[in-house]
Structure 1
Amino acid sequence: MDIQTYLERTETRQHQFARQFQVSQALVSQWIHGSVPPIKAVEIERALGGQVTRPEMRREDWWLIWPELAPLYPHLLPPDHPDFKQAA
């Protein structure tokens, strides 16, 4: 899931999430509407036990940064990627 969905499902406020990851609430808001820096994406994924994943935090380029994840998330790849698979 992405950060916004995580916040909603866990009833966590942006400022609480920000405090957990030692960033500002404004930065969390930017992440929700954009993408998370790769190093922070790894930190968040690990801290939340995979509830929020790197591909969902960097939808526009995750397969370029972490190509080893492509087989795990083929439904999140762009349609022109050779490993793309439609979600069932």
Structure 2
Amino acid sequence: MDIDQYLSSPGALSVTELRLRMSALGYEVKSNAQIRQWRTGFRSPSEKNCVGLEKATDGRIRRQDLRPNDWWLIWPEMPGAKNRSIKKK
């Protein structure tokens, strides 16, 4: 699920609530506008903030979905990463 799908889903946090939850977890999010930029694809979240989004949404947004072209290189410890790396070589 991407950020837009999450924010549009029933029971999802609002942009403000998502920012506050990420901040409470120790992830730096400058403003609601930053999350809206991620939502529209104007900017992409950093690798660190991909993890923060996953944690803040209890896994509903997955970092693999935010980084579909390179997640296995960034997080090789994740399930499926090793198989993905082998296929891409």
TM-fit CA distance, 1:51: 0.5
- Inter-partner Cα distance in structure 1 for 2:37 and 2:68: 14
- 2:38 — aligned with what? 31
Structure 2 unaligned runs (5+)? Answer: 24-28
Moved beyond 6 Å, runs of 4+: none
Count residues in correspondence.
Answer: 77
Q: Specify the SS of the correspondent of 1:51.
A: coil
Partners of 1:17 and 1:50 in 2: how far apart? 13
> Could you state the TM-score of these two structures normalised by the residue count of structure 1?
0.64
Task: Give me the CA root mean square deviation.
Answer: 2.6
Q: How does 1:1-88 map onto structure 2 within 5 Å? A: 1-9=1-9, 10=11, 12-22=13-23, 23=29, 24-32=31-39, 33=41, 34-69=43-78, 71=80, 82=87
Contact 2:22 2:56 in 1 (8 A): no
TM-score (ref. length: structure 2): 0.64
Could you tell me which runs of 5 or more consecutive residues in structure 1 were left unpaired when the two chains were aligned.
84-88
Q: Larger RCO: Structure 1 or Structure 2 (Cα < 8 Å, ≥ 6 residues apart)?
A: 2
- State the alpha-carbon separation in 2 of the partners of residues 3 and 51 from structure 1: 9
